[in-house]
Chains A and B, each alone.
Chain A
Amino acid sequence: MKDQAFVTLATNDSYVKGALVLGSSLRHYNTTRQLVALITPQVSDSMKKVLFKIYDDVKEVDVLDSGDSAHLALMQRPELGITLTKLHCWTLTQYSKCVFMDADTMVLSNIDELFQREELSAAPDPGWPDCFNSGVFVYRPSIDTYKRLLQFATEKGSFDGGDQGLLNSFFSSWATTDINKHLPFVYNLSSVSTYSYLPAFKVFGANAKVVHFLGRIKPWHFSFDPKTKSVSGMHDPAVVQPEFLKLWWETFSTRILPLLTEHGVVKDTSSGLKAEEIAEAVSQLSIEAPTISSEERKERWEQGQIDYMGEDSFENIKRRLDSFLK
């Protein structure tokens, strides 16, 4: 099925880890569809190469590239930012139908049957079931829809500041018109639901097909010991699906990590990069290294506890800025 694809989006190297696990889980359950990853310029070249190992196509999206009509929309609606990047999935017109999946999802079985659904099919959001959750949805790429979405974004904005608000306003008939466009909840099982309706989870949880790691703390924020196969901090009360989390890490350590290390070794001998850079790349990918999440780092800044001699040094900020100034 060359004209249908699963599409995901990674906006930085951390999300690439999620995208790799997602892709690898889709492959594991023998999907017959194409895998496409959209990435932003913040994703490093080495990570991009690793993505190619799992995905059929990796496409860089830069809304800020002048000449793009999304750029104009963004100038007027600077708050939409990453949302407009996500809308880019509608431009993949080489495919007739796609399923978009967030990079913080993972499949637990083959879900190719989703391609029988029509645009726009999605599962309800656990927080407000009259809205769909935009973490998993079926759509038809179309430049016309894309343009209408952009125009809609420019004029009306998004009620929650993100893509979900925008898409729900745009496909506003979802809640009431066609029940076939309501995907069963098992196609987008989100973490919050397990404790808000635990008995239901106990009965239906076993049928879960897609798990969605909603919330601020993502699986890649934990650390994992491959020998004992245990995730540290897993028994934290905030962690609601320890078994899914463990599954994510097992996939990561058995299938993704070898790719990453192999890639690091290849880089070492062939391109002769500086040892320092490799050490840095490795430390970013190393699962043993205690890393704190971006959110935590931001919080520390806000409390005035800045690691200015380490991770928050201006050199790192400069590197970040330079990626925009290219």
Chain B
Amino acid sequence: MPLARSLSVTSLTGLEDWDDELDLENSVLFEVAWEVANKVGGIYTVIQTKAKITSDEWGDNYFLIGPYFEHNVRTQVELIEAPNAAIKRTLDSMNSKGCKLYFGRWLIEGSPFVILIDIAATAWNLDHWKTEFWDSCTIGIPWYDREANDAVLFGFLTAWFLGEYAAQCEDEKPYIVAHFHEWLAGVGLCLCRIRKLPVATIFTTHATLLGRYLCAGSVDFYNNLQSFNVDKEAGDRQIYHRYCMERAAVQCTHVFTTVSQITAVEAEHLLKRKPDVVTPNGLNVKKFSAMHEFQNLHAQSKARIQEFIRGHFYGHLDFNLDKTLFFFIAGRYEFSNKGADIFLEALARLNYLLRVNQSDLTVVAFFIMPARTNNFNVETLKGQAVRKQLWDTANTVKEKFGKKLYESLLVGNLPDMNKMLDKEDFTMMKRAIFATQRHSFPPVCTHNMLDDSTDSILTTIRRIGLFNSSADRIKVIFHPEFLSSTSPLLPVDYEEFVRGCHLGVFPSYYEPWGYTPAECTVMGIPSISTNLSGFGCFMEEHIADPSSYGIYILDRRYRGLDDSCTQLTSFLYSFCQQSRRQRIIQRNRTERLSDLLDWKYLGRYYMYARHMALAKAFPDNFMYEPTEPTAAQGFRYPRPASVPPSPSLSRHSSPHHSETEEDDERYDEEEEAEKDRQNIKPPAMAVGTVPEWRKRSKKGSIDASTSSNASTPTNPSSPTDLSSPASSITEERN
């Protein structure tokens, strides 16, 4: 009988109290997911990035369980003998009964052990297992749903494995924790409970099945959350059996977690259980040894995007590239779920605002959303070719010019400028210039779309008339393919591209977590997200004044679409108002938030969940004091000491504010960074001070919104109305 351990967790803030570690010597952790060493979607990223800290914590007692696919194993798993005797006996025993299980190391950071199950090898058991599943929980699986049938096989095999392992551990029985991700792994969890295996179970949903379907079907989701008849909605959408598998797992698990507050609300209403812990997703943050290296990378990548722009807009380069901002939206092509609709609308309004204010600023908005195409279109490729030709011409002339200069200097004469370029050179240059003439506008879409006439982004662009004409201050480029460094068009990979942009725009309506803005943040690129995305909620909770840190959070939860669009326009406009220096300061602040998104910090929520599961499954041996999971606040960034760079706020403090000199006095990078570092360590009084910060941040945002609301009394949909707050901003700036 192991010693009873007690542990008090007052709140995650008070992690000092909780630091005495679990007795991991005698505990084993299995993490079960369909996306272990098998990339399908976002769960892969979560598990793969988290592996490092979890292996650091659990060492050789950490095993990932996933499905076996040969092509995955060949590329990312090294098969080895299981070093753990009980695991080896378990594998041998199951393999001798006709199963095919493989053991290896997953070749990712942390190189964790993986157990991969070939579900096809035991597919002949399917009917038998489906009957057993039916008999135990009266959930049947339609024969035509391949994925659900796979889930049954995978579930029965994982439960068999866990049971066999529990039986194979001879003398010292370890405490087994099994963490299941998503409905595809859920059957295994249900079986663990039905068979009463001695296993502490955790279930994490990264989104709910029904939520995804409802949102995709353009339902007013968040306003009706409480009133959905969930059985009916799932049944009508023919996902009832999947929904039942998901909900059964939620019902059975000891500890239920989701990735964000917003998904927690969703789960509470659609799965009828409030999550015990919110376990946000993290990233492995790369730390550069040189300070501000990310700023240099931004400059480098920006230069490459600028090159692309030079080619794409040949013949129409009537704007200053040094005064051009790059915005982008990226992700799966879900027009309204990802907020492409509202982004386009806001761009149209921003275009109007910049034009009426005769701004010299240009914005290029990139849409990186893969759609069905048949490759690049000729016009875009030609653009890059033309640019190349100009570059070659300039180089040839330069060569000749240089040679003449040299010869002239050799004989001791100052060159005669009139003879430097001869007629031939001029002809060549004139010809090159003529080649850049263009009668059409630069193309919006870089590819030939298969559904050009019905594509939702293109039809919206046609409706709002953003055709890249020279009068437009907003240029739009739709790149319907993932980026690649081998592309002839824009040869950068996604990371380089993000680094070269100024602002990521992700105004999603449905986004359980949202890795895209998180990735922007760790690269020091400001972003716009929403209070309906997990990321936005998380940031709102941890930062008093997110927008000064380059985290703009759009309110899409408590406002109508049109109001949200107005707010987005004002975010974009205020971003455009910033000086170069303000943007640099803002990027520094954004980058400092990296620590908040690092697994080193966010991994604690998982630890907490595991502990809670052990305590619930083995109450005689583990204890914990239940806490309010929502009170989990590790650290909190206050409003920066110096003036926030967002003009909407700065105008309150300094009406005649000129960016250059005054900022030098106010902004001290080192001092500010030091303060933020202090905040990373949770101060004991943090709990007391939190409400005050929150109040202040609320006030700030209310100020900003009321000023724009007040000026849009009658018809907020028309962009004309927006000109009034905008002009007031310009006045103050002048």
- Interface residues, chain A, with chain B CB atoms under 8 Å away: 64-66, 71-72, 74-76, 78-79, 81, 157, 161, 294, 297-304, 306, 308-309, 312-314, 316-318, 320-322, 324-325
Contacts and interface: CB of A to CB of B under 8 A. Distances in A.
Contacts of B159: 78
B195 A66 contact: no
Nearest to A157: B97
* Nearest 6 Cβ contacts at the A-B interface: A301-B140, A75-B163, A308-B235, A64-B196, A304-B142, A298-B134
A78, A157, A294, A300: which has the most chain B beta carbons within 10 Å? A78
Given A157-B97, A301-B141, A306-B241, A75 B167 contact: yes
Given A66-B196, A301-B139, A321-B190, A308 B240 contact: yes
B704 interface: no
- Contact residues of A: prevailing secondary structure: helix
Contacts of A320: 136-138
A41 B164 CA distance: 24
A325 B252 contact: yes
B142 A321 contact: no
A81, A302, A320: which has the most chain B beta carbons within 10 Å? A302
A314 B230 contact: yes
Interface residues of B, number: 48
Contacts of B231: 308-309, 313-314
B241 A301 contact: yes
Contacts of A316: 138
Contact of A78 (B142, B160, B190, B243): B160
Given A302-B143, A317-B248, A325-B252, A308 B234 contact: yes
Interface string B511-534: 000000000000000000000000
A301 to B, nearest CB: 2
Contacts, number: 108
B252 A75 contact: no
A76 B134 contact: no
A79 to B, nearest CB: 7
Contacts of A299: 140
Interface string B128-167: 1111101111111111100000000000100110011011
Interface of B: 93, 97, 125, 128-132, 134-144, 156, 159-160, 163-164, 166-167, 190-191, 193-198, 230-232, 234-235, 238, 240-241, 243-244, 247-248, 251-252
A203 B129 CA distance: 42
6 contacts: A75-B166, A78-B191, A298-B130, A300-B140, A309-B232, A314-B230
A79, A298, A308, A313: which has the most chain B beta carbons within 10 Å? A308
Nearest to A64: B196
A318 B156 CA distance: 20
Given A157-B97, A306-B140, A298 B131 contact: yes
A237 B191 CA distance: 39
A321 B251 contact: yes
Contacts of A64: 194-196
B164 A303 contact: no
A95 B594 CA distance: 72
Given A79-B128, A309-B231, A314-B231, 4 more contacts: A78-B195, A294-B135, A303-B142, A322-B251
Contacts of B132: 79, 81
A86 to B, nearest CB: 15
Contacts of B129: 79
A20 B141 CA distance: 32
A312 B195 CA distance: 23
A71 B235 contact: no
B196 A317 contact: no
B238 A76 contact: no
B360 to A, nearest CB: 60
Contacts of B156: 78
A317 B139 contact: yes
A308 B232 contact: yes
Nearest to A299: B140
Given A75-B166, A297-B140, A301-B134, A317 B195 contact: no
B62 to A, nearest CB: 22
A65 B138 contact: no
Contact of A66 (B130, B190, B198): B198
A314 B247 contact: yes
A76 B163 contact: yes
B248 to A, nearest CB: 6
Nearest to B142: A304
A319 to B, nearest CB: 10
A75 B197 contact: yes
A75 B195 contact: yes
B235 A76 contact: no
Nearest to B249: A321
Contacts of B247: 314, 317
Contacts of B198: 66
A302 B196 contact: no
B251 A312 contact: no
Given A65-B196, A321-B252, A314 B244 contact: yes
Contacts of B130: 298, 302
B160, B190, B231: which has the most chain A beta carbons within 10 Å? B231
B193 A325 contact: yes
A308 B140 CA distance: 12
Contacts of B160: 78
B152 to A, nearest CB: 12
